[in-house]
Amino acid sequence: MNLAHLLVRTARRLPQMPAVVERGRIELDYAALADRTLRLARALGERLGVRAGGRVALVMKNNAAYVELLYACWAAGICAIPVNVKLHPKEIAFILDDAAARVCFVTDDVDTAAIAAARAGGATEFIDVDRDDYLRLLQGEPGSVRDAAPDDLAWLFYTSGTTGRPKGVMLTHGNLLAMALNYLADVDHAAAGEQLLHAAPMSHGSGLYIVPNVAAGATQLVPASRGFDVAEIDGILDAARGVKFFAAPTMVMRLVDGLRGAARGLKLIVYGGGPMYVADCRRALDRLGPRLVQIYGQGESPMTITVLPLADHARQPHEDEGRWLARLGSVGRAQTGVEVAVFGEDDRAVAAGETGEVVVRGDPVMRGYLNNAEATAKTLAGGWLHTGDLGRLDERGYLTLVDRSKDLIISGGSNIYPREVEEALLLHPAVREVAVIGAPDAEWGEIVVAVVVRDPARDCSAEVLDAFCRGHIARFKRPKRYVFVDELPKNPTGKVLKRELRERIAAGGRPSKVN
């Protein structure tokens, strides 16, 4: 089933229901959203030459056009590539090349010239959704929704691998339909008239949640800031009703600290993308009330591995406090139709309470990685998605994550892989060796720390390296701290002992901070 049919069905059922609100103004009702979507779908093929099976990139901040473009791609049988607008132009260029994107829709704050200059592949047509070229695409006749098989690509989600090279996660119409059904069954019983606030990027989890909420007839609410602004959200929650949104734990705690009103309009916050400390969770529950749902997922199984629902955040009558706190410290239990297990080194399930690698299988799990058969075979070995996360399942099926075997750093809800940062820093002539690790941080969850061995013949400081990083990687991936050492600790085979580095930093290594 083509995901665009979900929009068409809602438009028939609720034609005058607000579909998209931006800057406090109703931009589109469902009838208008469906009409514009089908006009764009036809224009993608007839005017822009994107055939069914082709790919279209979206490098945009949150806005009303995001919704209609996603569904236009799907209606036309085209795969959408939502891209984090905060990425460096070189990183965006790689994605466009790897995916062979024919067209890229942007907002006016995107430096298309820098992206084009960094590209090594074919030409891509850039269209700014804030300008007349985009409006002209809507002037033709509407098309129709193409048939789609469950394995047809719908969304390419680029996530960085441990090698530092981004991998295109192939998510199909079947994957995203399963994700939507999981959301409606386990996370939020969405209804018409409710509002999905896009405070987090639509290129990630917030955008994925468009699908179930459009199916339910809920409104997509794009704030004037096009992102996360505590004062703005405070005003929205005071004026609106039935508001829900996806947020990283860092965002939740900023909201807890910054809210002035009673958040009367808040239905729930779905949080994920990083660990929520138990003390923070309790503080959020005290401030917001029983309005928290936690999900655990990966790009390879989007938003759909486990869930800790509203009821599980509450302490049950006569429940032992220790049991309740253990549950709050978990990431919940497997979502409906999803199997979760913990495997040992022999790729067999371990007993309850034992630690191993978290593995997953079910309809939401990706088709594979684009142009990377080797990584696909390794990650999906034996029919299970090997997450690379270490965890343990208790006797009731609640999963607690204990570590990440791939050295992934999650800072403010954004995934940062050390190898990407290390490769950028090693381009600087004064950097002889470098190891990048994550360090706990009260505000961000984790921050990036670079441990650097300098060339003694060259001058180098934290400020110099920070400026250098700005020219090679996205700003949010830059190290927040630098530690300069004479040598890196290594094992006999020459592998850097990052665990030892983390212990040294925790014990009081001298970092040089940058803002």
**pLDDT given at position 497:** 83
Q: How confident is the model at residue 404 (pLDDT cuts 50, 70, 90)?
A: low
Task: Tell me the C-alpha distance between 67 and 55, whole Å.
Answer: 16
Beta bridge mates, 195: 219, 243
> Is pLDDT of 417 > 80?
no
CATH 3.30.300.30 residue ranges for the chain? 410-513
What is the model's pTM? 0.85
Report whether 234 contacts 186 (CB < 8 A): no
Q: How confident is the model at residue 361 (pLDDT cuts 50, 70, 90)?
A: very high
**pLDDT given at position 405:** 62
Distance, C-alpha 19 to centroid of its chain: 23
Q: Per the structure block, which two tokens stand in for 494?
A: 């020459």
**pLDDT given at position 162:** 41
Instruction: List the one residue out of 165, 140, 168 whose CA is nearest residue 154.
Output: 168
Please tell me the class of the 410-513 domain: alpha beta
**pLDDT given at position 276:** 80
pLDDT tens digits for range 295-354: 999 999 999 999 999 999 999 999 999 999 999 999 999 999 999 999 998 999 999 999
Contacts of 322 (CB under 8 A, 6+ apart): none
Share of the chain above pLDDT 70, in %: 96
Instruction: List the one residue out of 19, 6, 39 whose CA is nearest residue 148.
Output: 6
For domain 293-404, the question of CATH label 1.10.3720.10 is answered with no
With H, G, I as helix, E, B as strand and everything else as coil, classify residue 284.
helix
The continuous run of DSSP H or E covering 103 comes out as strand 103-106
Q: How confident is the model at residue 65 (pLDDT cuts 50, 70, 90)?
A: very high
pLDDT tens digits for range 207-265: 999 999 999 999 999 999 999 999 999 999 999 999 999 998 889 999 999 999 888 99
CATH 2.30.38.10 residue ranges for the chain? 293-404
Task: Compute and round to an integer the Cα radius of gyration of the chain.
Answer: 23
User: Cα 69–72–75 angle (5° rounding)?
Assistant: 155
Q: Per the structure block, which two tokens stand in for 351?
A: 């007993």
Quick one: CA dihedral 161, 167, 173, 176, positive or negative?
Answer: positive
The per-residue b/e assignment along 315-326, b for 16 or more CB within 10 angstroms, e otherwise, is: eeeeeeeeebee
pLDDT tens digits for range 427-461: 899 998 899 999 988 888 899 999 999 988 888 89
Question: Which CATH number is associated with domain 1-9+26-148?
Answer: 3.40.50.980
Q: How far is CA 225 from CA 24, 61, 87, 240, in A?
A: 11, 10, 19, 17
Q: How confident is the model at residue 161 (pLDDT cuts 50, 70, 90)?
A: very low
Q: How confident is the model at residue 511 (pLDDT cuts 50, 70, 90)?
A: low
pLDDT tens digits for range 176-202: 999 999 999 999 999 999 999 999 999
pLDDT tens digits for range 336-352: 999 999 999 899 999 99
* Average pLDDT over all residues of the chain: 92
